[in-house]
Amino acid sequence: MMFKKLSFLLSLLFFTTLFTQAQTSLSQDERMKWWREARFGMFIHFGVYVQLAGEYRGHQQAKGGAEWIMNRMKIPVGEYRSVGRQFNPFKFDADEWVKTAHDSGMKYIVITAKHHDGFATFDSKVSDWDICDTSPYKQDILKPLAEACRKYGIKLGFYYSQAQDCDQRWCLL
């Protein structure tokens, strides 16, 4: 397991270096040109936290976005994991989401691939706290979303948090 993690980190460092080198040949203004021209896009927060809809044990979350509910409402890890076992976005339709974005004039979509609770919306090889291993849905949602984005000419970005990974059993900053 340690070898897999080290291999992953070295690969990540290699590709980050390549990306950084490619980006340094362009000015900041050139790198941001597409963003300024795009002007309109969608950020999708999607994961276990949507299951709770900002409410825990009859109390509304007092501050912050619903994606912070585990942290802000001090939900124990085991209890939150049981919510993950119920997370079943069976009505998810990547083509419909992206077509709607496209038809509305959006130029990009950013989605949470993994938020602070550590839950991945793809089949993670690092942890079983993901949509394929934990939830009854058992399907990666990022791959069909990427395919639909290619189909409709929408740029796709992933929000991937490692800053506060609640999968590490603490999560209550």
More confident residue, 82 or 73: 82
H/E run at residue 157: strand 155-160
> For position 173, what pLDDT does the model report?
35
Question: Would you place residue 38 in the very low, low, confident or very high pLDDT band (cuts 50, 70, 90)?
Answer: confident
Tell me: domain 40-168, CATH 3.40.50.10300, correct?
no
| pLDDT tens, residue by residue, 1-32 | 444 444 544 444 444 554 555 556 778 888 88
Average pLDDT rounded to a whole number, residues 130-147 = 96
Provide the residue ranges of all domains of the chain, joining segments of one domain with +.
1-35, 40-168
Return the percentage of the chain with pLDDT > 70, whole number: 79
> For position 60, what pLDDT does the model report?
85
Q: CA 169 to CA 108: how far, in whole Å?
A: 34
Q: Which conformational region is residue 6 in: left (phi greater than 0), alpha (psi within -120 to 50 degrees), or beta?
A: alpha
Q: CA 75 to CA 70: how far, in whole Å?
A: 5
Q: CA 131 to CA 154: how far, in whole Å?
A: 24
Question: Would you place residue 126 in the very low, low, confident or very high pLDDT band (cuts 50, 70, 90)?
Answer: confident
> For position 44, what pLDDT does the model report?
93
In three-state secondary structure terms, 134 is coil
Average pLDDT rounded to a whole number, residues 81-98 = 95
